[in-house]
Structure 1
Amino acid sequence: MSESRTLPPEALDAWADAACARLGIDRAALSVPLVLDLARDVAHGVARPAAPLSAFIAGLAAGRAGGDAEAQREAVAALTALANEWAER
């Protein structure tokens, strides 16, 4: 039986640093709270499995729009609004 692989909160920054370095992404361009808020809103408004999928989609959209902080905020805002609408269905 495998033990839980839950990442402690204090290790999240180290993981983000390593993941960004591996993919050649400027770590300063990543807003962890923005991504986590999106995941929370989608998980509660739609379904848990939709959270990582939505984060990936937001990243694709932000990248296609230039990848800057504003593009990230716009992509997250659009999906957060959709999740809120979805929850009201």
Structure 2
Amino acid sequence: MNVLEEWTALVCRELGIDPEKVDRDMVLDLTKEVAHGVARPAAPLTAYLLGLAQGAGTAAPGAVDRLVELAQTWERAPREPE
């Protein structure tokens, strides 16, 4: 078992989460796209917000794909004036 697997198992135990329900690669892919397309600090925040939405039952079925798409097109997205 590698460090990431050990850490994931420990955190799942602490939070009462079934580790079989954790799609680690999906989360890592999402955070990679957000970190590179938006900003590094946006990656953990996005993962946290997704987790909140999942827990609340408000995340759409394609939420991860949509967030990846938003991160990949972030530079091209029109900005509102500050």
Which of 76, 79, 83 aligns to 2:64? It is 76
**Which residue of structure 2 aligns with residue 51 of structure 1?**
43
TM-score, normalising length: structure 1: 0.75
Q: Which runs of 5+ in 1 are unaligned?
A: 1-9
Kept after mapping to 2: 8 A contact 1:61/1:75: no
RMSD between superposed Cα atoms in Å: 2.2
Kept after mapping to 2: 8 A contact 1:45/1:83: yes
Q: Take 2:46 and 2:64, find their aligned partners in 1: how far apart are those partners?
A: 9
After superposing on structure 2, the runs of 4+ consecutive aligned residues of structure 1 that deviate more than 4 Å are none
How many pairs does the alignment contain?
A: 77
Q: Post-superposition shift, 1:81?
A: 1.6
Percent identity (aligned)? 45
**Which residue of structure 1 aligns with residue 29 of structure 2?**
37
Q: Take 2:58 and 2:38, find their aligned partners in 1: how far apart are those partners?
A: 27
TM-score, normalising length: structure 2: 0.81
1:25/1:86 Cα in 2 relative to 1: closer, same or farther (>3 Å)?
same
Q: Take 2:42 and 2:70, find their aligned partners in 1: how far apart are those partners?
A: 12
Q: Which runs of 5+ in 2 are unaligned?
A: 78-82
